[in-house]
A and B are shown apart, each in its own frame.
Chain A
Amino acid sequence: MEVSEKKTSATAARKIKKSNLYRDEHRAAFLFILIPVIGFILFSMIPFLISLYASFTDWNGIGQMNFIGLKNYQNLFQDKYFWQTLSNTFYMMIGIPIGLLISFLLASALSRKIVGKTIFRVIYYIPVVSSLAAISILWQWAYNGDFGLVNQVLDLVGIEGPNWLQNVSTVKPAIIIMAVWKGVGYSMLLYLAAIQSVPRTFYEAAELDGASAFQRFRYITWPMVKPITFFLIVTNIIGGSQLFTEVNIMTPTGGPQYASATVVWYLWRQAFSNWKMGYASAISVVLGIIIFIITALQFYMNRRSSYKLD
């Protein structure tokens, strides 16, 4: 810093310089995010606002929208199917931690130099790649009570498998298993990328210090991929809350006693089979709010435990 005789002007000059510095950065930062923000406004926010308005009307999807105030929301809170499907939806999220653990272990294994790793990666990835519709049809057959794949395998070990998709107590686990099967490749892929980002020097230093493979894994790899784990948990919860296509194909009527019906499946039905688009909009607003709160909470909790590499 130059020492100036005119102290005020110097201070002033410094102040201007400082805010200029950030101003440039602000501007750059802003321009960099401008396009997604515009996209969001055009393609998400505006339709959402329309849908929000619709939630206060009795819109049937093909006619006019007549304002009816909070009626949809009142009905919603008393709708036992709404609560049931909501609880179904959250129940099915049990698969998330299981899936993440499996895919993380797989990714660690496959990121080393083992024979045929590419083939393994491809194998685990194939389910992710296949179209949801084809997968759902396949699993519907696989779960068939009499001759489905799953029961055939169980038969080999002498277990008589239930009629998975028709049984109230087995239909949710059945869908969870399928979802985990499908998602493992997805998370594995991302973990593979994440594991690559861990600087080798850390491992080298740890080895020098005499750390075992397990210790290196636990104290270096796992914490370093925490940001990715956070990402996967957040996006999986958001995605899990919207489970629809699989349910619609495997249990088109919502499962035995609505045991596998998810919220989005339910609102889809209300919108397109029962002429209650306004009501469906209300359900999605409520779901959106719930998920937003959960996500915001996650971000808040994550703030404290995150750290930066410097």
Chain B
Amino acid sequence: MIAPLLWMISTSLKDKSGVFSLPPQWIPDPFITDAYTRLFELDQLWSGVKNSIIVSFSVTIIGTITSSMAAFSFAKLRLPFKNMIFLLLLIGIMIPYPSIMIPQFVIFSKIGWVNTLLPLIVPGMFGNITMIFFLRQYLSNVPDSIVEAAKIDGANYFQIFSKLIVPAIKPAIAAQFILWFMGAWNDYLAPLLYLNSPEKQTLQVVIANLNASYAIQTDYPLIMAASVISLIPVLTIFIIFQKQIIESVALSAVKG
């Protein structure tokens, strides 16, 4: 299961020619942490991490709020044409990215957002249909009766949302948060297009740029070392949030 990753770590500890040796070495010989030294000397590593953090957190935190609110509406509230609107939003991910990539770029270019982090952050803040979809599905296991009861008790919709719904779907939110964070963190196509200056680039772009034109010149240990490092934040977020998924209290007995 994790063999390829062990390989990744192992490669990051080899010297350049050891990467291509036959038969392939599992235990690097010589065992050198040289790649990591070179990695940490790379200025862009730190700016890359910083930019990735800015992008990933802004998008996920704000986006989670907007997505949860929308999911609540789709799942529990009445609205004419609700399902049609939902399907419409879903179309957003059915269109292959390459074809909207250029028009999006042109738009962002015209408003001067190229070489800023904005094209990577702002669209995500408006919500993520995958998350909305998932939360909506999850909410089908939350009884409608709760919502109705709260309404009769005089709660307004926002209160229903924050006090009833959110606690009920905490595991789902946590799960999607992890996945969204990871998606934003690992995204490299969009950042590659929009970010020019090294100091604005996110971590994945920095790693991608380490590739040379000719495979033979590529410093694989360095790239693997960088990839290992880039794993750490996401894994950390996972370990933190996965507790949320499991240990949060599921809705217990509901008096129907």
A-B pairs with beta carbons under 8 Å apart, 8 shown: A36-B127, A40-B129, A47-B103, A125-B238, A132-B188, A142-B7, A199-B253, A227-B141
Q: Does B33 contact A (CB under 8 A)?
A: no
- B239 beta carbon closer than 8 Å to chain A: yes
A38 contacts the other chain (CB 8 A): yes
Minimum distance in angstroms from A91 CB to a CB of chain B? 18
Query: What 0/1 readout, one digit per residue, does chain A (34-58) give for beta carbons within 8 Å of chain B?
Result: 0111111011111110110010000
Whether A235 pairs with B126 at a CB distance below 8 angstroms is no
In the assembled complex, which residues on chain A have CB atoms less than 8 Å from the CB atom of B78? Answer: 22, 25-26, 29
Contacts of A138 in B (CB 8 A): 4-5, 7-8
Q: Is there a chain A Cβ closer than 8 Å to B164's Cβ?
A: no
Q: Mark B45-71, 1 if CB is under 8 A from A, else 0.
A: 000000000000000000000110110
Q: Which of A127, A131, A192, A292 has the most CB of B within 10 A?
A: A131
A284 to B78, CA, bound (A): 34
Query: Which B residues are in CB contact (< 8 Å) with A285?
Result: 99
- Are B70 and A32 in contact (CB-based, < 8 A)? yes
Closest to B241 in A: A189
B212 within 8 A of A: no
- With a CB–CB cut-off of 8 A, which chain A residues contact B95? 44, 48, 51, 284, 288
Interface residues, chain A, with chain B CB atoms under 8 Å away: 22, 25-26, 28-30, 32-33, 35-40, 42-48, 50-51, 54, 61, 111, 118, 121-135, 138-139, 141-142, 146-147, 149, 181, 186, 189-190, 192-194, 196-201, 224, 227-228, 230-231, 234-235, 238-239, 241-242, 244-245, 263-264, 267-268, 271, 277, 280-281, 283-285, 287-288, 291-292, 295-296, 299, 306, 308-310
B4–A295 CB distance below 8 A: no
Report how far A285 CA is from B98 CA in the complex, Å. 11
Q: Are A147 and B250 in contact (CB under 8 A)?
A: no
CB pair B70–A189 under 8 Å, yes or no, is no
Task: Report the Cα distance A186→B180, complex, angstroms.
Answer: 11
Task: Tell me, in angstroms, the Cα distance from A44 to B101 when the chains sit together.
Answer: 10
**B86-144 interface (Cβ within 8 A of A):** 87-100, 102-104, 106-107, 123, 125-127, 129-130, 132-134, 137-138, 140-144
Q: In the complex, which residue of chain B has the Cβ closest to the Cβ of A268?
A: B98
**In the complex, how many residue pairs between chain A and chain B have their CB atoms under 8 Å apart?**
279
For B82, give its contact among A29, A111, A130 (CB under 8 Å): A29
- B252 interface residue (CB < 8 Å to A): yes
Contact A32 B77 (CB under 8 A): yes
Contacts of B224 on A, CB cut-off 8 Å?
Answer: 134
List the A side residues contacting B42 at CB < 8 Å: none
CB atoms of A124 and B234 under 8 A apart: no
B89–A129 contact, CB under 8 A? Answer: no
**B201 within 8 A of partner (CB):** no
Closest chain-A Cβ to B113's Cβ sits at a distance in Å of: 12
Residues of B within 8 A of A45 (CB): 92
Q: Do the beta carbons of B171 and A197 come within 8 Å of each other?
A: yes
Report chain B residues within 8 Å CB of A37: 85, 89
Are B99 and A51 in contact, with the CB atoms below 8 A? Answer: yes
Q: How far is the CA of A295 from the CA of B73 in the complex (A)?
A: 21
Residue contact A131 to B207, C-beta cutoff 8 Å: yes
A148 to chain B, nearest CB (A): 8
Most buried by A among B23, B66, B102, B132: B102
A130 touches B5 (CB 8 A): yes
Q: Which of B5, B23, B126 is close to A147, meaning CB atoms less than 8 Å apart?
A: B23
Contact B94–A196 (Cβ < 8 Å): no
A306 touches B140 (CB 8 A): yes
Complex interface: chain A residues within 8 A of B103 (CB): 46-48, 50-51, 54
Nearest chain A residue, comparing its CB with the CB of B175: A193
Asked if B92 and A44 make an inter-chain contact with CB atoms under 8 angstroms apart, the answer reads: yes
Q: How far is the CA of A39 from the CA of B140 in the complex (A)?
A: 25
Contact of A227 among B138, B207, B253 (CB under 8 A): B138
- What separation, in Å, do the CA atoms of A201 and B143 have in the docked complex? 14
Tell me which of A29, A118, A264, A309 contacts B140 (CB under 8 A).
Answer: A309
Contact residues in A for B242 (Cβ distance below 8 Å): 118, 121, 125, 189, 192
Is there an interface contact between A38 and B253, defined as CB atoms closer than 8 Å? no
Q: Is the CB of A196 within 8 A of B66?
A: no
A187 to chain B, nearest CB (A): 10
Give complex CA distance A33, B1 in Å. 40
Per-residue CB proximity of B213-231 to A under 8 Å, as 1/0? Answer: 0000000000110010011
Contact A189 B251 (CB under 8 A): no
- Other-chain contact of B102, A43, A61, A292 (Cβ < 8 Å): A61
Report if A197-B179 is in contact (Cβ < 8 Å); known contacts: A25-B78, A35-B66, A149-B3. no
Cross-chain contact of B208 among A29, A130, A133 (Cβ < 8 A)? A133
Return chain A residues, CB-CB under 8 Å to B69.
32-33, 35
Which residue from chain A places its CB closest to the CB of B124 in the assembled complex?
Answer: A39
CB contact between B204 and one of A131, A181, A281 (< 8 Å): that residue: A131
The answer to whether B142 and A309 have CB atoms under 8 Å apart is yes
Q: Is the CB of A47 within 8 A of B100?
A: yes
Task: Tell whether A227 pairs with B98 under 8 Å between CB atoms, given A128-B182, A131-B204, A292-B91.
Answer: no
Residues of B within 8 A of A227 (CB): 137-138, 140-141
**Given the complex of chains A and B, what is the CA–CA distance between A48 and B8 in angstroms?**
38
